[in-house]
Amino acid sequence: MTTTFSWPMIAFATLALAACDNNIFTGEKDKDILPGTRISVLALERELRPDLGAIDTVIRLPKPQDTDTWPQAGGLSHHAMHHMVLADVPKLRWSEDIGVGTGKRNRVLAEPVVAEGHIFAMDAEAVVTAFDAKTGKKLWSHETAPEDDNEGSFLGGGIAYDNGRIFITGGFAQVVALDAQTGKEIWRASVEAPIRSAPSVNGGRVFAITVENQAVALAASTGRQLWTYSGASTATILMGAAAPAVDGGVVIAPFTNGEVVALRVDNGAALWTETVVAVRRTEAAASLPIISARPVIDRGRVYVVGHSGVVVAIDLRTGQRVWDAPVSGVYGPWIAGDFLYIITIDAEALCIDVRTGRILWVTQLPRFEDPEDKTGRIVWAGPVVASDRVIVVGSNEQALTLSPYSGSVIGRLDLNSAATLPPVLANSTMYLLNDDGDLAAYR
């Protein structure tokens, strides 16, 4: 029997909704940062520090590019979205209720997805709703939980879009396909255990990972099971889980025992296995081997952040570890050009040079709502990179923007609710979803 480990630092709730037109993108751009050591005033109080051997590294990001879709958790199936587009002063355009928000029994864990001019969101009771992405007009709603589900417990899952269909995973141990235009159910397939993470879709296949560490591939057209791969299960897991990354004919499956397995998309055969575990922390929760941060595939490398305290770069073809760094996190890293941005479980934002694995800057974010008493631990979700801003959102009902070049905080915004899912970006618009079940669009 699998037990859920509850801990404030890794409780995956929904994205918070901004209640006013205050702008989180204020501040001057600083693309041309002078050479020097980027160390915050708190650097001596924490373990992570910039690498002094990289003080002359100049951070340059690729040109921002827009996209008209955000079809899966993390954007595309490889989760490498680089540098997105968003106005310097985005305004709140609309806000709509998606249904039941986070409560004592269930939580909203699904990030919205954008496709066909629609945005799709799932509430805490597995009800999927489609809205017009420009206006927020409600288009349809569909209950995806099985009719015989009398327990009312959902706990997890996610959404993905591909070729006119919406694919839903959840705690009811099924994968469901809906018509994206009408919400009509197309097929429903059972799996052996609940699924806490979002599915990934690539090449006509739907990939998902169950809480029992079984990777499953289904035919996107029919729901027919194509193959399965079983990893070693663990007795204790966190509430959230990571969607697999897919690219170049390879599925990268992150498991709760700290293993990362590369599988062939056509038959599920294992190509290589790597362990992303660093037993160096004293807190019981922090030492769990789980990988709940979704992996990233980019230019022949795989980047994985482990919960227990290590981020690794792995050669996609051979499985050989290229470098590692002592960083722990539960949210997927964001790659932009040659630089990887990560939010740690200790409320640190940092930048790593993917060519060398060296940490270039570290910024300590607020850790507690009451810093004096050290109570009310803050969860920071993200990051995403858009228009020369690193955007993070927090459970303290605030959003922050940081410079991607120095890590300095350059803007903030008060929110209406806890924010513990990263923003979604498409069509020069940022979408936020909050614990109360409200979805907002900024452009």
Give yes or no for residue 270 having a pLDDT over 90.
yes
Share of residues in the chain with pLDDT > 90 (%): 66
At 347, list the tokens: 């409320």
Q: Write down the mean pLDDT value for the chain.
A: 86
84-93, 237-246, 253-262: range with lowest mean pLDDT? 237-246
Give yes or no for residue 285 having a pLDDT over 80.
no
Residue with the larger pLDDT of the pair 118 and 399: 118
- Predicted model pTM: 0.88
Residue 38 three-state SS: strand
Q: Is 155 left (phi over 0), alpha (psi -120 to 50) or beta?
A: left
CA-closest candidate to residue 293, choices 327, 250, 339, 337 = 327
1-10, 52-61, 122-131, 245-254: range with lowest mean pLDDT? 1-10
What pLDDT, on a 0 to 100 scale, did the predictor assign at position 307? 81
What pLDDT, on a 0 to 100 scale, did the predictor assign at position 37? 44
What pLDDT, on a 0 to 100 scale, did the predictor assign at position 52? 85
At 278, list the tokens: 């660093």
The sheet with strand 398-402 has its strands ordered as 380-385, 390-394, 398-402, 409-414
pLDDT digit string (tens) for 23-80? Answer: 555 554 444 444 444 444 333 344 689 998 888 899 999 999 999 999 999 999 999 9
87-96, 102-111, 207-216, 331-340: range with lowest mean pLDDT? 102-111
Which string of b and e fits 163-184 if b means at least 16 CB within 10 Å?
eebbbbbbbbbbbbbbebeebe
Cα 331-251-109 angle, rounded to 5 deg: 35
pLDDT digit string (tens) for 351-402? Answer: 999 999 999 999 999 999 999 999 999 999 999 999 999 999 999 988 899 9
Which string of b and e fits 80-117 if b means at least 16 CB within 10 Å?
bbbbbbbeeebebebbbebbbbbeeebbbbbbbbbbbe
Q: Which CATH number applies to 3-442? A: 2.130.10.10
Q: Hey, how many other C-beta atoms are within 10 angstroms of the C-beta on 402?
A: 25
Residue with the larger pLDDT of the pair 103 and 326: 326
What pLDDT, on a 0 to 100 scale, did the predictor assign at position 226? 98
What pLDDT, on a 0 to 100 scale, did the predictor assign at position 3? 40
CA-closest candidate to residue 78, choices 331, 303, 231 = 303
At 234, list the tokens: 């663990």
What pLDDT, on a 0 to 100 scale, did the predictor assign at position 294? 95
Give yes or no for residue 235 having a pLDDT over 50.
yes
| Residues 158, 198 contacting (CB under 8 angstroms) | yes
Tell me the C-alpha distance between 402 and 84, whole Å. 15
What is the helix (H) or strand (E) element at residue 160, kind and residue range? strand 158-162
Q: Hey, how many other C-beta atoms are within 10 angstroms of the C-beta on 46?
A: 15
What pLDDT, on a 0 to 100 scale, did the predictor assign at position 9? 34
pLDDT bucket at 302, cuts 50 / 70 / 90: very high
What pLDDT, on a 0 to 100 scale, did the predictor assign at position 21? 41
When pLDDT is averaged across residues 11-23 and rounded to a whole number, the result is: 39
At 350, list the tokens: 């940092």
| Residues 236, 181 contacting (CB under 8 angstroms) | no
Residue with the larger pLDDT of the pair 109 and 245: 245
pLDDT bucket at 151, cuts 50 / 70 / 90: low
Domain extents in the chain: 3-442
What pLDDT, on a 0 to 100 scale, did the predictor assign at position 7? 34
Q: Hey, how many other C-beta atoms are within 10 angstroms of the C-beta on 8?
A: 12
| Residues 169, 195 contacting (CB under 8 angstroms) | yes
Residue with the larger pLDDT of the pair 23 and 166: 166
